[in-house]
Amino acid sequence: MQHLIEDEWLWGWDPTPGIVSVWADVDGEATVWRRPPETGVLVREAVRFRPWLLIDNIDDLPEGDVTWRELDGPGALRFHVSADTGKALTAAVLHSASTRSGRRVERLSELDKSSVLSLPPEEQYLVASGRAYFRDLTFDQLHRLQFDLETTGLDPRRHRIFMVAVRDPAGEVEILEAASADNAGEAELIRRLVAKVQAADPDVIENHNLHGFDLPFLERRAKQLRVPLALGRIGSPGLRQRAARRGTVSDYDADRRVRFVIPGRELIDTLDAVRRFDFAARELPGHGLKAVARHFGLAGPERELIRGDQIHDVYQRDPERVRRYARADVEEAAGVARVLGGAAFALARMAPRRYERLADAGAATGVIDPLLVRAYLRSGQALPAHQDGDGTVHQGAALHLFATGVAHRIVKADVASLYPSLMRAFRIGPARDRLGALLALVDGLVEKRLAAKASAKLAPAGSAERYTHEAMSAAMKLVVNSAYGYLAAGDGLTRFADVHAANEVTRRGRETLDFMCRELANRGVQLIEADTDGVYFAVPESWTEADERRVVSEVAALLPARVHLEFEGRYAAMLSHEPKNYALLHYDGTLALKGVAFRSSRAEPFGEAFLRRAIERLLVGDIRGVREAYLDTVFAIRRRSLPTYDVSSRVRVTKTAETYMAVRESRRELTYEALLASGRRTWSLGERVRVYRTASGAGVVPDPDDEAITPTGDALVDRRDYDINHYVRVLHDTFASRLERAFTSEDFSVVFADPQQPSLFAPGLDDVKPRLFTMR
């Protein structure tokens, strides 16, 4: 029985299959588009629902069209009020509020959020009906269209659209182009895009940065050219707006940020999916479409690349190249949407919100809150109002550094999903959640996630079924892991936020980590570093992998049920530098560098190369090899056998030429001196350039990342006029210094002694050994 109720909290209760979009208005008219799974053919249904809201007081509520009922429990939002139309509902509630307060209240938004809960019409409909999107539907049954604008620049007030690539739901790509570079040509191009969308009639429109670029740009241009943007399935032409923190600044009110909405279609931005994915995975080199597509193996070897600011120029010389580029863009956007879009798709089967809202929402306020609201209403329970904290500060996780330097036979052990596990193990939930709904949701999700993972394994690799189960599992993990964030959210951000409960979770977390460390140390290992939910340690020389696994399971057995300590990995050696900064040598010989000290986008290539080589030698105990890496690099700089590119670093231009020239005399900056020295007199903000230092000034080198353009003759000649002494100093002070924890200070000066200033009493390299220094 209890399980049935929890299932309703998780999924809703109405089994209607195949909902692909919902549009509703405040007066209780909803339109539902469905693709019944067996036919896949789109049907449109008009349904009526009764607009409703929750309020904390119904004194002076006028009799008549409005009905209300009182919910159970102590929650402040205890009156469920509804009416035939939203107009009648709001009028009655405003009348009541005005009478009570003695002042004229004209909008619901004037009421404090602790005294009223009023959802957008679609969500009122979904919460009340128990329906949700996509039941019995797979991701591939959705009709998805991608379009990508090519423009003459980034500013829709000054620049134009000259090309649009459109990929229809069948996967056919069409390239639309303006016939002329004037208003008439651009207007006609927009009209053809609109016609194309109407003909393809997709459920979903996707692109990378759709909400940040393509939609706002298109809207602005269409308005300027007076072309009606009839992209929706119903209603009058024109894009609608909704408030969105991560939207673009509204044209009408600079303080408002908005996203565009179209009746009957879901507008999905793959950039949102990428950010949500990388938030957990932290494995992407960047969030741009090209980088992501390459990372997921979606980009072909012949992928056409053109630097953003060159696209229009290239189009004028070689339009075919830009067509190939635009085609690749929409194809990759479709690929990224399929690879990463599954989580939001799965969330839409659970939470009572539109798919596009679940795609851009944060998991705590965007997913958990709607689930809790629906659970409380289904149970006839009053909802607590938002409440500010009582001033208690939130305590975070533990971080310990036990040893620095070089250690061998490293093991990493960690607790999977530590915080939700602790919430479940010790039944830590929000004090005001009298239904225990948050913990029930977390319990249900963890169990169902295991089932989803198992089903995914059973389904054939690459099948839609496998994909659906995997996506469901990913979505559930996302929600489970944000349950703690929901508790800890400050400023009364979430309805059930509870800093005391959150502190109890982190306190248990610190206790668990400390306990693990003690028990491991008792079993004869050398602890290196412990952070939040995991610990690195070194084991004695005589131990086998079986011994390593045995200590981990011994300690795991001492932890509470539901708190699972896992053997995460083993490594040949580790250089521990600072907390969260270390290098790991895998048993297969590959080296992994973690933390700011070892990887920085600004680092000069020669330094990075030296660091990798030196650390790799260090971790296999080859001190001579470390010395050689250092000497080779010093000599390469002194002999100028290093190309200039290797000493350059990539910087971003943040001052205009005018701004810099005004302050140049008081403070010289390498970036701008380099631009000036290379003959540039103007540059654009945000531009990235590679700069280096010369004995007398600075210079610029071309960056191959940008080189879809042919380098000019000048750039091909490498003058190698970099400042030798400066770069030798950089090598020692910022790169070799990353190895200083591995040696005594005497040994460090021997290994990294300047070859031009031999010390008379230098002890031999043979006496130098890598060390491990333990704290205290």
Partner DNA sequence: TTGTCGCGGGG
Partner DNA sequence: GTGTACGCGACAA
Contact residues for DNA (CB under 7 A)? Answer: 109, 113, 120, 148-151, 153-154, 208-209, 212-213, 242-246, 248, 256, 271, 275-276, 279, 282, 286-291, 307-309, 311-312, 329, 360-362, 364-366, 485, 489, 491, 493, 580, 595-596, 599-602, 651-652, 654-655, 669, 686
**Residue 378 CB, nearest approach to DNA (Å):** 21
Q: Cα(24)–Cα(36) distance, rounded to whole angstroms?
A: 20
SS3 call for 768: coil
238: left (phi over 0), alpha (psi -120 to 50) or beta: left
Beta bridge partners of 531: 399, 534
Q: Cα(291)–Cα(408) distance, rounded to whole angstroms?
A: 35
Enumerate residues 6+ apart whose C-beta is below 8 A from 219.
Answer: 229, 239, 260
Residue closer to DNA, measured from CB, 91 or 244: 244
- The sign of the dihedral angle between the CA atoms of 652, 658, 661, 666 is negative
Q: Cα(471)–Cα(680) distance, rounded to whole angstroms?
A: 50
- The sign of the dihedral angle between the CA atoms of 81, 84, 90, 94 is negative
Are the CB atoms for 642 and 606 separated by under 8 Å? yes
**Residue 153 CB, nearest approach to DNA (Å):** 5
Q: What is the CA radius of gyration of the chain?
A: 31
Longest dimension (CA), the chain: 102
Residue closer to DNA, measured from CB, 291 or 620: 291
Residue closer to DNA, measured from CB, 400 or 550: 400
**Residue 366 CB, nearest approach to DNA (Å):** 6
Residue closer to DNA, measured from CB, 298 or 750: 298
Q: Where do runs of H (alpha helix) occur along 349-436?
A: 355-360, 363, 369-378, 418-425
Residue closer to DNA, measured from CB, 600 or 774: 600
Residue closer to DNA, measured from CB, 201 or 568: 568
CA nearest to 385, candidates 394, 376, 398: 376
**Residue 245 CB, nearest approach to DNA (Å):** 3
Find the distance separating the first CA and the last CA of the chain, reported in whole Å: 57
Residue closer to DNA, measured from CB, 208 or 424: 208
Helix-helix angle 437-458:464-488, to 10 degrees:
160
- How, if at all, do strands 403-415 and 534-538 pair? antiparallel
**Residue 212 CB, nearest approach to DNA (Å):** 4
- Written as six digits, the tokens of 542 are 């005589």
**Residue 111 CB, nearest approach to DNA (Å):** 10
Residue closer to DNA, measured from CB, 358 or 538: 358
Q: What is the dihedral of CA 74, 76, 80, 82, to 10 degrees?
A: 170
- Written as six digits, the tokens of 159 are 């620049």
**Residue 614 CB, nearest approach to DNA (Å):** 19
**Residue 329 CB, nearest approach to DNA (Å):** 5
**Residue 120 CB, nearest approach to DNA (Å):** 6
Residue closer to DNA, measured from CB, 35 or 211: 211
Q: Cα(282)–Cα(286) distance, rounded to whole angstroms?
A: 10
Residue closer to DNA, measured from CB, 129 or 209: 209
**Residue 643 CB, nearest approach to DNA (Å):** 21
